[in-house]
Structure 1
Amino acid sequence: MSQPTCVIYDRLSRLFAEEAPDHRIAACKSYAEARGWKVVHVATDTNVSGASKLEDRPGMREVLAWLPRADYVLAAKLDRYARSVLEFQRLLRAADSTRTTIVTADGVVSPENASIIINVLAAFAEYERDMITARITESKKHFRSRGNHLGGLAPYGYAVSGPVNNKRWVIDETAAAVLREATDRLLRHGASLSGLARELNDRGTLPPADHARQRAGRELRGQRWHSTTLRDALYSPAVRGWLIQAVPGTKRGALTNQPVLDAAGNPVSAGPAILSAEDWSAVRALIDGKARGRGSDRTGKALLLHIARCSECDGPMYRQRRTVNGKDYSSYVCRKGVGKLGIHRPNVATANYIEEFVTADFLRRFGDFTLMRWAEPDGSAVLQLSEVTQQIERLAGNLAQLDPNGTAARVAIAQITALEARQAELQRESAHAVGRWVDTGTTIGSEWRQRDDEGRRALLADLGARLEIRPAVPGAPRRFDAGRLKLSYEGPAWRRGVDPLTASELEADLEEAAWN
């Protein structure tokens, strides 16, 4: 009679020095030797959950491959095999198909009682796993309510500090400075996300993932900033210092995350804010307003793009770049007047002269005007109002089932009272949260001098600038002719949309300011 064969299996959810598998494998070998079994293979899984599928574990795949050639599979305890009844039953079915017996070295499951006791013990193993999961869930809920960091990387702009059970966010000044500068330039200096991303790359500023690796002393991956990377970092509620979670039913992401709210409906703070409420709301509104779908028009770098129009077809005039011997001979051209397929006579004008003309006229009219910025309301008030209303409805439903004179009812009533006060506050914020124009503390002329062409074009658009260019008269001298240009302005965006009488007065003010 041949000697029975045995495969030993061991699994660890986490690898710690005091939990190394050696002593359990040694116990299995002693058990096999006492039974007269020959150990033909030892398989181990490290950092593998007992709830994971059998085929997802490298060591268990080895065990499954050995089943046709082994009489027994041996583990130190039942929970080493699995903490899921479903996965354990899959293992049992696989072993049964090869007439292999599953046993444990602690004697709980032996060849004699395996068929009776094994399913009962597996059920207890799953129960234990559920209890562990419940404890972890409750623990996370508790720490989340306190604003503690729950693991993983901190959001860009923060680092994690504090003892194990009280970790909080602290500001990472290097990263926070990037976010503050980007916000300031987006809101007050006409910058764009793509332009800022290029600058960050040119300056060698590390993007979020590589910044975190450098801080942890890990190898960098050579990643770069993209406009979406910067957008996500600025858009996230985390920059207010709030714990975040995904909107129910959506994947976790910067555009779908929302603040975690406490019992009173307030965002739970995990650390100090990087951006003020006003700046964060404004930058989110700006990002939302500039979101474009695939196939939509996109702006380039020309100063007068979408401002210079052709008098023949009212189409846009595009800047055609041309440099000869270091000199700029660029021009604005209407594409509908070019070549054999043109629908009207050619319309071309020297770019430099036109841009100088528009710049001089614009600054003369509006250079001393105060620059205003549109401040969007903080939309989080509406979001928080919805959450608070739901909490009130849930508590009110529970209250009907409680003893009116009991302690639980008094606690529920106190919670409802606090939530109703917060609800009223949020309703006031939502009802009066209208956008407004805010003084930036600088003049249009001063801001013009600080911006590049992209930012200056934004200023022209804010003032409603429109430049109509007429084709040159055939045979006319080839020099700049301001008579071909008709420059008009709707006026500052913060003065539009008023009643006709006020509009007439503002128009008179503009004319007077232009000539004084």
Structure 2
Amino acid sequence: MKKQTAIVYARVSTEEQAKNGASLDAQVNVLTQVAEERGWNVRIIREQASGKSMTPRARPLLNVALKELSNGEAQYLLAVRIDRISRNVEEFARLMTISRKQGWAMVLSEMDLDTTTSQGEFMANVQISVAQYERRLIGDRTKAGLAQRKAEGVQLGRRASLPVDIVKRIKQERATGSTLSAIAQGLTDDNVPTAQGGKRWYPSTIKKVLESDIWSKI
């Protein structure tokens, strides 16, 4: 019977780690031992890249590994933790689905997670679900915090800034009967930057200046 092949995937994200090799070597040593204990052939891939994305451009060597797995050249993908493969929950969930369809499995040594078994696959799905729940919980707390600050009158986001003379110009032109569109067009023609540094003024922008509490006393 032909021995099966495991791809040992070791990743670091900083140039210093990639140069001294300490973290990469530690990952490779642990994962190689796992593979050899199971009687698998070992193919080692080392990559220095961020774990934020799994795209071919961001992670070319990981995608080489995935291609070999999809072609049947290897049957297992070994990493020490989920975040060595991806820090994105949705991406990892999609990879789990792909691995089932293509017939290969993952082993994550430090998490004692092994999708070659039904129990391991179940635990992987639990890990993903927990991570998704935590992300949504953080999002909900952030939204609630922002809503509370807004209710307390705290200004959120980047503070708008306009020179006093520009605000006075807008108010004076409006007071003499100029339309919002005319005021906006005049400021655009004179190359006056908006409060956010934009080049073009709009009637809605003029209206916000006129109604804003920030410039109410000017």
| Distance in 1, Cα, partners of 2:107 & 2:194 | 52
Counterpart of 1:188 in structure 2 is 176
| Distance in 1, Cα, partners of 2:152 & 2:56 | 36
Shift of 1:24: 6.8
Counterpart of 2:32 in structure 1 is 33
Q: What is the TM-score with the length of structure 1 in the denominator? A: 0.31
Matched, 1:197 2:188: yes
Q: Among residues 69, 75, 82, which one is paired with 1:67 in the alignment?
A: 69
Shift of 1:149: 4.2
Matched, 1:83 2:89: yes
Q: What is the TM-score with the length of structure 2 in the denominator? A: 0.64
Counterpart of 1:129 in structure 2 is 135
Q: Is the 8 A contact 2:52 2:88 kept in 1?
A: no
Shift of 1:10: 6.1
Q: Is the 8 A contact 1:5 1:40 kept in 2?
A: no
Q: Is the 8 A contact 2:210 2:216 kept in 1?
A: no
AA matched with 2:7: C
Cα distance, 1:197–1:129 mapped onto 2, change above 3 Å? closer
Matched, 1:100 2:104: yes
| Distance in 2, Cα, partners of 1:5 & 1:124 | 27
Counterpart of 2:159 in structure 1 is 154
Aligned residues: 195
| Distance in 1, Cα, partners of 2:203 & 2:12 | 43
Deviations 1:287-332 (A, max 9, x none): xxxxxxxxxxxxxxxxxxxxxxxxxxxxxxxxxxxxxxxxxxxxxx
AA matched with 2:186: G
* SS in structure 2 at match of 1:38: strand
Larger helix proportion of the pair: 2
Residues 80-479 of structure 1 correspond to what in structure 2 (within 5 A)? 80=86, 82-84=88-90, 87-110=91-114, 111=116, 113-151=119-157, 153-155=158-160, 157=161, 172=162, 174=163, 176-188=164-176, 190=178, 192-193=182-183, 194-198=185-189, 200-201=190-191, 205-209=192-196, 211=197, 224-225=199-200, 229-236=201-208, 240-241=212-213, 273-275=214-216
| Distance in 2, Cα, partners of 1:138 & 1:7 | 43
Shift of 1:234: 1.9
Counterpart of 1:5 in structure 2 is 6
Deviations 1:220-256 (A, max 9, x none): xxx733xxx2423222279524xxxxxxxxxxxxxxx
| Distance in 2, Cα, partners of 1:4 & 1:34 | 13
Q: Is the 8 A contact 1:11 1:81 kept in 2?
A: no
Shift of 1:274: 0.7
User: What value does the CA root-mean-square deviation take over the aligned residues?
Assistant: 4.1
Cα distance, 1:183–1:131 mapped onto 2, change above 3 Å? same
| Distance in 2, Cα, partners of 1:238 & 1:24 | 58
| Distance in 2, Cα, partners of 1:31 & 1:90 | 26
Larger RCO: Structure 1 or Structure 2 (Cα < 8 Å, ≥ 6 residues apart)?
Answer: 2
